[in-house]
Structure 1
């Protein structure tokens, strides 16, 4: 009986060690994937930034014959600022919706959900 209990303990211990090893390997693989995802995301953001810079420069070059150098620069800067203001305004509206979702008042949450359905 004691030998059977020792065997059962050894088998259980072996199974636990194997499970721990499996989980470690799985976490290591997940860590590599997360690192790759983060790297690809950063490279993607850098490329998007480069594309936007190229768009602004290209717009300025295209407007120089029409507006002159200073006019093209002013129009490009003004357009960029208007787009940035629009993005910030839309983001500020979303902040209000998120804060309403976490409000203690259930009616505020219902109102935010209903407003999101209409937006």
Structure 2
């Protein structure tokens, strides 16, 4: 056991090595805080730098994703507009075709009246359905005392 005290680097009660808690700084004559570690500042600084780098990377990613989504929305909107235009043309062609199909049966003016009347009936039915749903939606957001009036 005595040999361990004589070895370099072995710490013992009487080996003369200073205890870190007993170190006195020469500048102030005070003992330093035993829990203060200069590497903590370095780690905190590295953590802040990492957080800043992460935030910048995340911001860049979100900007890129938003730009990509914007391009997709723009392209999709363009496709929807073209599809609606083509649908409108198709309905016009259907109406003209129906007028031509009914022409031998009811004459040109009669076939126009039949197709026009049928289209107006469809518009009225669609409008009535939309009105009923709008009324139901309004009742969802109205207070109970407003419903009775």
TM-score by length of 2: 0.66
Shift of 1:43: 1.2
Mapped to 1, the partners of 2:130 and 2:116 lie a distance apart of 21
Point out the structure with the larger helix share: 1
- Tell me, yes or no, if structure 1 residue 9 matches structure 2 residue 48: yes
Partner of 1:112: none
Moved over 3 A (4+): none
Shift of 1:104: 2.3
Structure 1: which 5+ residue stretches go unaligned?
A: 109-119
Partner of 2:121: 82
Partner of 2:5: none
Structure 2: which 5+ residue stretches go unaligned?
A: 1-37
Partner of 2:26: none
Partner of 2:101: 62
Q: How many pairs align?
A: 107
Deviation string 1:22-72 (CA, Å, 9 cap, x unpaired) is: 111111111111112211111111111111101100000001111111111
Partner of 1:101: 140
Selected match of 2:77 from 38, 43, 46? 38
Please, what is the CA RMSD of the aligned residues?
A: 1.6
Shift of 1:91: 1.0
SS of residue in 2 equivalent to 1:64 = helix
Greater relative contact order structure (CA < 8 Å, 6+ sep): 1
